[in-house]
Amino acid sequence: MNKNKCQHKDYRFKVANREALIGIGLVLFNFIWWFAFAYGLGSKDVSEYTYIIGLPAWFFYSCVLGVIVMSVLVFAIVKSFFVHVNFNHEELEDK
């Protein structure tokens, strides 16, 4: 049997593709979050900035809070949607 045809039937490719798409979605969300706060709040005149714990609000929301939100989001998504995939060749050949 052709090796390429076997790979397309392997369930691990479907799992890997789904998890890659989830990862791309997380990256896009992170970029939109960062861009919206950094350029949305940061485009004002410096004299109009508000500050949170000594940092400009745009920086706090885009960089500090963004890291916290993304860490929690990645943890929750990995726990909820990612699955363990076995790469042990002996067990896979038995199936």
Looking at the 3D structure of the chain, how many domains does it have? 1
Query: Can you give the pLDDT at residue 62?
Result: 94
Residues near 24 by beta carbon (within 8 Å), at least 6 away in sequence: none
Query: Can you give the pLDDT at residue 7?
Result: 54
| pLDDT, mean over the chain | 86
Residue carrying the six token digits 């500050």: 51
For the segment 1-43, what is each residue's pLDDT rounded down to a tens digit?
455 555 557 888 888 899 999 999 999 999 999 999 998 888 8
Q: What are phi and psi of 64, to 5 degrees?
A: -75, -60
Structure tokens at 22: 């989830």
Q: Is the pLDDT of residue 94 over 70?
A: no
* Domain with 16 in it: 3-94
